[in-house]
Amino acid sequence: MKITIVGTGYVGLVTGACLAEIGNDVFCLDVDQKKIDVLNNGGIPIHEPGLKEIIDRSRAAGRLQFSTDVEASVAHGDIQFIAVGTPPSEDGSADLNYVLAAARDIGRHMNGFKIIVDKSTVPVGTAQRVRDTIAAELTRRGAKQGFSVVSNPEFLKEGAAVEDFMRPDRIVIGVEADDSGNRARESMKRLYAPFNRNHDRTLYMDVRSAEFTKYAANAMLATRISFMNELANLADSVGADIEAVRRGIGSDPRIGYHFLYAGAGYGGSCFPKDVRALIQTGSENGHTLRILDAVEAVNDAQKQVLIKKITERFGEDLTDRTFAVWGLAFKPNTDDMREAPSRTLIRGLLERGARVKAYDPVSMDAARAAFAEDLADAPDAQARLSFVRTEGEALPNADALLIVTEWKAFKSPDFNALREALKTPVVFDGRNLYEPGAMLENGFEYYAIGRALPPEAARRPQLRVAQG
């Protein structure tokens, strides 16, 4: 099938590459000439496991092309996916300017029946606005081409995006209840048939419900995280271990184990903005979404939890202190720095006078760019932040190690070497990677999120008790 993807970012590039991999003829459009040049020169603008290989294969087979040529992109695909960004506006609502610009381009150039698929995360009612925008362009041109707008939200996870796209839990498709909607439904069914061989994973519904489903899913996941973070802080105070609690409740099939990890707060390009956008949709429609207000407030506070523990230990003034930071990306297996908790933490340390030596296995370039932006107004702070090439290089002279992203490589370090390398053997673990008791036995002062010490360890007089 002939497919166009408008917007070649995390979602657009993965969607385009995966649809080309299974044999479709895919045209990826972007307005960012630099991104398109990188791709046309055989590079890849983002880190995503397995993506480069399928891009290379499909390009070599002539099934995948990248371009900034809008007219050619509209002419190419019978199905036009819109996968552009929907960043938050000032009031928290999703900024639809990119989506509507893409719709306008399609309306301006379309030359036959087109199926327009909203893959970007967009508020309920956006498909209608896309439809109106295209219709207005057609009227302006005096053209009469037919079209249908479909909602097909994306559920991939960065870091496992190719796997998620190739083996989706579900494919949500919202279509209009008319003849062109039926035609669109048949095309979408054909397009996704290769992903449904084992059993049909497609959920057809009306367009508005499909748009809503994406926000509901992310809001639920964010809720689980904030719920656990709030309980973790209480666990710290009452002397319970949130990891034991997590296992205790996760084993109930009505609850399940996923997304119950306490940590340094959620970040990334989706949860923060989607929670905010849903709150805003609520308020525009006269509903205060009180649970989501709390989810957001808890998360904002959680991003400060490590700073709070650090200042309790070292005092408010961190001048002359040096901290090693492991993990900068908002989660492992991606280089995405959007709303990463490391940004709040590092800024907080620098503001208090500290030096920071930061390391991440893949996001160093993205991190440099993110901190250059964050600290543009604070050259003095910027001078105290350095990026190092290995996790080991971050440690010498550091008063403590801070873990912010749970990369696999951090899960089982050589603890003896770690203890020896640090100036003082103090670890603040924002991802609960290690066993508190074992860390104490190993001679570390260990601060995690919501993890009280096992009583037998806490009772030993020779060991310093560093709760939570």
Ligand X SMILES: NC(=O)c1ccc[n+]([C@@H]2O[C@H](COP(=O)([O-])OP(=O)(O)OC[C@H]3O[C@@H](n4cnc5c(N)ncnc54)[C@H](O)[C@@H]3O)[C@@H](O)[C@H]2O)c1
Residues known to be catalytic:
270
Q: Which is nearer to ligand X, 11 or 439 (CB)?
A: 11
The answer to whether residues 157 and 164 touch, using CB atoms and an 8 Å cutoff, is: yes
Can you tell me the distance from the alpha carbon of 183 to that of 202, in angstroms, rounded to the nearest whole number? 16
Q: Is 282:292 a contact under the CB 8 Å cutoff?
A: yes
> In the complex with ligand X, which residue's Cβ is closer, 100 or 433?
100
> Which residue has the closest beta carbon to ligand X?
9
Among 4, 213, 223, 269, indicate the residue that binds ligand X (CB under 6 A).
269
Q: How many residues of this chain bind ligand X (CB under 6 A)? A: 26
Determine contact, residues 145/138, Cβ cutoff 8 Å.
yes
Per CB under 6 A, the list member of 24, 58, 121, 281 interacting with ligand X is: 121
Binds ligand X by CB under 6 A, chosen from 3, 4, 12, 437: 12
CB of 155 to ligand X, least distance (A): 6
Residues 322-351 that bind ligand X (CB under 6 A): none
- Closer CB to ligand X, residue 36 or residue 448? 36
For 313-331, b/e burial (b = at least 16 CB within 10 A) is ebeeebeebbbbbbbbbbb
Give the x-and-dash track for 140-159 against ligand X (CB under 6 A): --------------x-x-x-
For residues 170 and 464, which CB has a smaller minimum distance to ligand X in the complex?
170
Nearer to ligand X among residue 84 and residue 231 (C-beta): 84
DSSP code of 19? H
Closest to ligand X by CB, 86 vs 148, is 86
38 binds ligand X (CB under 6 A): no
Is 425 near ligand X (CB under 6 A)?
no
Residues in the chain, how many? Answer: 468
Shortest distance, CB of residue 336 to ligand X, whole angstroms? 7
What's the min distance (Å) between Cβ of 80 and ligand X? 11
In the sheet with 355-359, reading across from the earlier edge strand, the strands are 385-387, 355-359, 322-326, 400-403, 426-429, 445-447
Question: Of these, 65, 120, 126, 344, which contacts ligand X (CB under 6 A)?
Answer: 120
Whose CA is closest to 154, among 118, 203, 119, 127?
Answer: 119
Shortest Å distance, C-beta 269 to ligand X:
5
| Residue numbers 353-412 binding ligand X by CB under 6 A | none
Question: In three state form, how does the secondary structure of 244-265 look?
Answer: HHHHHHHCCCCCCCCCCCCCCC
**Residue 102 near ligand X by CB under 6 A:** yes
Q: Choose which of 6, 51, 96, 466 interacts with ligand X (CB under 6 A).
A: 6
φ and ψ of 436, to 5 deg: -55, -45
Q: Is 29 in the site for ligand X (CB under 6 A)?
A: yes
Q: Which pairs count as long-range contacts for 234-239, CB under 8 Å and 24+ apart, including other chains?
A: 234/450, 235/450, 235/451, 235/452, 235/468, 236/449, 236/450, 236/451, 236/452, 236/467, 236/468, 238/452, 239/452, 239/467
**List 4, 25, 27, 35, residue binding ligand X (CB under 6 A):** 35
Q: By the 8 A CB rule, do 342 and 404 touch?
A: yes
Please list every residue from 69 through 98 that binds ligand X, using CB under 6 A.
Answer: 83-86, 98
CA–CA separation, 122 vs 436, rounded Å? 43
Task: Work out whether 229 is an interface residue with ligand X (CB under 6 A).
Answer: no
- Catalog residues that contact ligand X under the rule CB under 6 A: 6-12, 29-32, 35, 83-86, 98, 101-102, 120-121, 154, 156, 158, 269-270
